[in-house]
């Protein structure tokens, strides 16, 4: 890489990435302190390892010209499908889902996390070739099918959260690729209406006579997934079941007030009433122990991080770079909105972690790889002059 390209480096983006990673270690030092009582700082230590190794991944990817990935589109796409098929047939099952491939007894990877990066790289090239040619419904079919295959393999695991992330990536990249906003937006609205009607028919107790035939309409989701999709509207209806997570999260965030209860002074998290408080519900710990000030500070860090990501997309040298950046920003934005939404009780619980904050090796590596791609686009946003 030409050293002159380093002058393009978005230092503000790097600064806020570092601040978010530092916040992760601080938050996990209290959120995970009682998860493994014999090793209180276990998750802080492992997260530090994931961050350091992830930094190496990010720097390596940033040093590679992002345009080189275009030459390997179908190889990357095929490798992605292969990994997802291996998970289905040979993966380890935990909590009713098969998502992991274990390399050793204690070290495993979650291919669906990396599948998001692979689909951004490959779909970006696929759409770059069609930029300006996405004007009709039939033009939307090829890119939709391109994303649908790996998305169905992830849905099969089952992993509804990551499946929805794929949808968000697809929508964001399609709009940036120039899909007709009225036709594509209308298609999305129509799809949302159909899903809403399907859910209504499945859960409705008293349908009109002419709709009795559709009562209890079967849906391609596990029963626990369906319950999570609606229980957030009234979590008190199942206090000890699917509503437990939401109620504990709401109590944690609500009890924090303006300044919070103080570092390691929370009750819902420290006493383990709040499930998964070091992963999916880590934002609830921030609300309980650091209060409104803590949550708004964390969201401000994310806001600047995303705005710099958008800036990188806008300044990209070509369509492919812009699409990669747009896909990554769409992914991060969806993760943040859904995670904060589900912990705040305004969105269903889908098991989506808070990026760069929640504990997890595969997620951290995937996030850092994404940051490396953004920096690769950023470093090459101007043509080198000789």
| Residue 8 predicted with pLDDT over 90 | no
DSSP 321-384: HHHHHHHHHHHHHHHHHHHHHHHTTSS-------TTTS--HHHHHHHHHHHHHHHHHHHTSSPP
Q: Would you call 271 exposed, middle or buried from its count of C-beta atoms within 10 A (0-12, 13-18, 19+)?
A: exposed
| Residue 116 predicted with pLDDT over 50 | yes
Q: What is the mean pLDDT of residues 194-209?
A: 76
| Residue 327 predicted with pLDDT over 90 | yes
Q: How far apart are alpha carbons 151 and 179 in whole angstroms?
A: 21
Q: What is the model's pLDDT at position 234?
A: 79
Q: What is the model's pLDDT at position 3?
A: 67
SS3 (DSSP) at 83? helix
Q: Would you call 370 exposed, middle or buried from its count of C-beta atoms within 10 A (0-12, 13-18, 19+)?
A: buried
Q: What is the model's pLDDT at position 185?
A: 94
Query: Peptide bond before 158: cis, by omega within 30 degrees of 0?
Result: yes
pLDDT digits (tens, 9 = 90+) for 228-287: 777 887 788 777 777 888 999 999 999 999 999 999 999 898 888 888 889 999 999 999
CB-CB contact of 362 with 87 (8 Å): no
Q: How confident is the model at residue 381 (pLDDT cuts 50, 70, 90)?
A: confident
Q: What is the mean pLDDT of residues 52-81?
A: 96
Q: How confident is the model at residue 384 (pLDDT cuts 50, 70, 90)?
A: very low
Q: What is the mean pLDDT of residues 340-368?
A: 92
Q: How confident is the model at residue 167 (pLDDT cuts 50, 70, 90)?
A: very high
Q: What is the mean pLDDT of residues 376-385?
A: 73
Lowest-confidence region among 195-199, 300-304, 309-313, 337-341? 195-199
> What are the distances in angstroms from CA 135 to CA 94, 120, 372, 382?
43, 21, 32, 30
Lowest-confidence region among 26-40, 170-184, 357-371? 26-40
| Residue 383 predicted with pLDDT over 60 | no
Q: What is the pTM of this model?
A: 0.93
Q: What is the model's pLDDT at position 272?
A: 86
Q: How confident is the model at residue 198 (pLDDT cuts 50, 70, 90)?
A: confident
CB-CB contact of 284 with 249 (8 Å): yes
| Residue 4 predicted with pLDDT over 60 | yes
Angle (deg, nearest 10), helices 319-343 and 361-379: 140
Round the average pLDDT of the chain to a whole number and report it: 89
Q: What is the model's pLDDT at position 215?
A: 67
**In the chain, where are the structural domains located?**
3-379
């Amino acid at each position: 890489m030409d050293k002159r390209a380093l002058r393009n480096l978005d230092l503000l983006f790097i600064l806020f990435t570092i601040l978010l990673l530092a916040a992760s270690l601080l938050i996990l030092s209290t959120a995970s302190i009682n998860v493994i009582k014999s090793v209180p700082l276990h998750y802080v230590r492992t997260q530090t390892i994931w961050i350091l190794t992830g930094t190496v991944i990010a720097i390596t990817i940033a040093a590679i010209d992002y345009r080189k990935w275009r030459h390997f589109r179908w190889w990357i796409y095929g490798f992605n499908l292969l990994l997802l098929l291996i998970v289905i047939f040979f993966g380890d099952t935990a909590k009713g889902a098969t998502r992991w491939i274990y390399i050793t007894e204690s070290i495993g990877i979650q291919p669906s996390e990396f599948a998001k990066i692979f689909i951004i790289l490959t779909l970006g090239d696929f759409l770059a070739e069609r930029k300006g040619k996405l004007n009709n419904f039939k033009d939307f079919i090829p890119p939709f099918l391109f994303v649908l295959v790996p998305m169905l393999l992830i849905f099969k695991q089952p992993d509804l959260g990551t499946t929805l992330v794929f949808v968000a990536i697809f929508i964001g990249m399609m709009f940036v690729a120039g899909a007709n906003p009225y036709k594509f937006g209308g298609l999305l609205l129509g799809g949302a209406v159909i899903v809403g009607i399907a859910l209504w028919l499945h859960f409705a107790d008293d349908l009109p006579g002419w709709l009795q035939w559709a009562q209890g309409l079967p849906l391609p989701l596990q029963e626990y997934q369906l319950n999570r999709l609606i229980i957030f509207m009234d979590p008190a209806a199942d206090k000890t079941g699917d509503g437990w997570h939401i109620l504990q999260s709401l109590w944690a965030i609500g009890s924090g007030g303006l300044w919070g209860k103080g570092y390691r002074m929370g009750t819902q998290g420290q006493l383990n009433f709040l499930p998964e408080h070091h992963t999916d519900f880590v934002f609830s710990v921030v609300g309980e122990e650091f209060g409104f000030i803590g949550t708004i500070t964390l969201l401000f860090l994310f806001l600047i991080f995303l705005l710099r990501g958008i800036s990188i997309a806008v300044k990209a040298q070509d369509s492919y770079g812009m699409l990669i950046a747009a896909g990554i920003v769409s992914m991060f934005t969806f993760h943040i909105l859904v995670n904060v939404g589900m912990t705040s009780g305004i969105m269903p619980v889908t098991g989506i972690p808070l990026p760069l904050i929640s504990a997890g090796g595969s997620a951290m590596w995937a996030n850092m790889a994404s940051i490396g791609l953004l920096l690769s686009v950023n470093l090459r946003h101007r043509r080198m002059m000789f």
